[in-house]
């Protein structure tokens, strides 16, 4: 399993930072963000 923080809170903060960077990259290139989609996970 990937490790993205020493705590849940740190992992969430790191994830938010990654998403913000992604949005900024799309804005710089003038691309539109992809449409949201739903992923279904089999139980």
Q: What's the number of domains the chain is made of?
A: 1
pTM to 2 decimal places:
0.66
Alpha helices in 1-43 (DSSP H): 8-29
DSSP 30: T
- Provide the domain limits for residue 38: 1-43
Per-residue tens of pLDDT for the chain, all 43 residues: 456 778 889 989 999 999 999 999 999 999 999 898 998 887 7
* Cα 13 from Cα 2, distance rounded (Å): 15
């Amino acid at each position: 399993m990937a490790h993205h923080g020493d705590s849940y809170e740190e992992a969430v903060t790191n994830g938010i930072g990654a998403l913000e960077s992604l949005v900024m990259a799309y804005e710089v290139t003038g691309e539109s963000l992809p449409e949201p989609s739903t992923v279904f996970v089999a139980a």
